[in-house]
Structures are given as C-alpha cells and as structure tokens.
C-alpha cells in the first residue's frame, strides 16, 4: 500500500502560515479550558449527594407505612436532632418523643428519618418497628432466623425507630431484650428514635421507669433529647 499523500504541499502550508501572520493570527495559543463538573455532572459533590439522597429516600419509603409517606419534621427540637444525626450520627444520641395518643409522635419520628435521608448521607440503613412487633420477632419461633439474630440486627442497624415503647406488659424477657438493644446503641453511639405514650419520669403516675425498669431509663436519661408533644388527639379531629 503506498504511503498517504499530504493534503497540501509544504509551499502551500507556508503560504497559509504567512497569511495568518499577516493578520496577526500566527501565534494564537489555546486558552484555559474550564472542565470543572457542574452540580448536574458526575464528579461534582452535589451530583453525588443527590444520587445518595435518591437511594436513601427509596429505603425510607420502603420502611415507612403508607400513612406516614408525607411525614416531615416540624418540631424545632426534632429538626435539630435530625440535623445532628446528619452532621455526625455519633453525636445525635436518642430522640424520645412522648405525649398522649394522636399528638403526632410517629409522624415526627418518620419525618426526622426522612430529613436525614434527604441529606444524602454516606450510609443510610434503618429499621422502623413498633415495640410489640419487635418483641414478637424476638420470642421463640417469632423469627425464622431466631431471636438472637433479631436482637443483634436491632443493635447494629445505623438508624432505629421503636414506636410505642412501653405498651408491652413488662416481663423479664421484655426488660432484658430492651436493655441489650439500648445498651449496645448507647455504648456505640448509634442514633435511636423512641416514641411512647409514657413520660420518662412522672412522680404522680406511671412512667417509663415503672414500665421498663431502672437499667433502661438510666441509659435513656444520659443521651436523650426529650420532646413532649401535646394538644388534642388529631385522629379524633380528622374523624
């Protein structure tokens, strides 16, 4: 195969160069190119934060009951707790939402988890359960994987919501299982949200101390943000 021929002779190329120089274009150098990615392009931190947020919101949606799919936090202390969990999960501690039936505790709890998901954290894994369902899984034959597996799963999951704690009748099993979960999360500084109709302490009536025992409530007292919600039962108002 013959060698490829140049498109123009050397004399023609020289002539073209002279014409460019005569017009002051002979020594043009390329300027800087801004190839920094925009927020809508891979490589930009905001692009990847959005990608993480999309995954996290999907997990939140899967874990959240249909009734609370529109949950957003509105209480200032709940918002502040969620923001601490976003900035550094190990400093968030426990969020304890207390108040009568129908005052929005569960809504605020799922709202706090949604706010964390929307921030696009590096890791977003959660379990949301009611206390009765949690204890049912940990009883003999309550789980195909066994009670010990369920306890350890609740200990280690990055985010945990226990709804309606204190509604179960106290027993040695209930107290021991709850203590193990809370103690592990307390020691490892893993965020936890608890809702309960019972106050943490009430000298004039039943409280969480009476229901769950001193070992558990002493753990709660040290790292807990207590938010007391009041008002009328919203469920009755909606009816």
Query: pLDDT tens digits for the chain (239 residues)?
Result: 556 555 556 777 777 777 777 776 666 565 566 667 777 778 788 999 999 999 999 999 999 999 999 999 999 999 999 999 999 999 999 999 999 888 999 999 999 999 999 999 999 999 999 999 999 998 888 889 998 999 999 999 999 999 999 877 777 887 888 889 999 999 999 999 999 998 777 777 777 777 777 777 777 777 889 999 986 655 555 44
Instruction: Report whether 120 contacts 89 (CB < 8 A).
Output: no
Cα(177)–Cα(210) distance, integer angstroms: 16
Cα(238)–Cα(94) distance, integer angstroms: 30
Cα(56)–Cα(123) distance, integer angstroms: 8
Nearest 5°: the CA angle 57, 108, 227 is 140
């Amino acid at each position: 195969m013959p060698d490829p021929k140049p498109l123009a002779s050397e004399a023609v190329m020289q002539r073209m160069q002279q014409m460019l120089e005569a017009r002051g274009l002979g020594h043009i150098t390329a300027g800087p190119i801004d190839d920094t990615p925009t927020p809508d392009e891979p490589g930009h931190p905001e692009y990847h934060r959005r990608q993480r947020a999309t995954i996290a919101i999907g997990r939140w949606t899967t874990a959240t009951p249909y009734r609370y799919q529109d949950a957003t936090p509105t209480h200032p202390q709940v918002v502040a707790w969620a923001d601490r969990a976003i900035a550094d999960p190990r400093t968030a501690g426990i969020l304890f939402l207390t108040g009568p039936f129908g005052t929005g505790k569960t809504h605020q709890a799922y709202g706090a988890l949604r706010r964390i998901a929307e921030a696009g954290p590096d890791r977003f894994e959660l379990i949301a359960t009611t206390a009765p369902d949690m204890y049912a899984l940990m009883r003999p034959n309550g789980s195909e994987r066994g009670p010990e597996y369920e306890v350890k799963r609740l200990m280690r999951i990055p985010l945990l919501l226990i709804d309606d704690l204190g509604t179960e009748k106290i027993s040695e099993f209930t107290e021991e299982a709850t203590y193990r979960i809370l103690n592990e999360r307390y020691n490892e500084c893993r965020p936890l949200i608890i809702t309960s109709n019972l106050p943490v302490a009430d000298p004039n009536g039943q409280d969480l101390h009476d229901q769950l025992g001193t070992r558990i409530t002493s753990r709660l007292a040290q790292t807990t943000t207590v938010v007391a919600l009041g008002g009328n039962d919203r469920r009755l108002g909606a009816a």
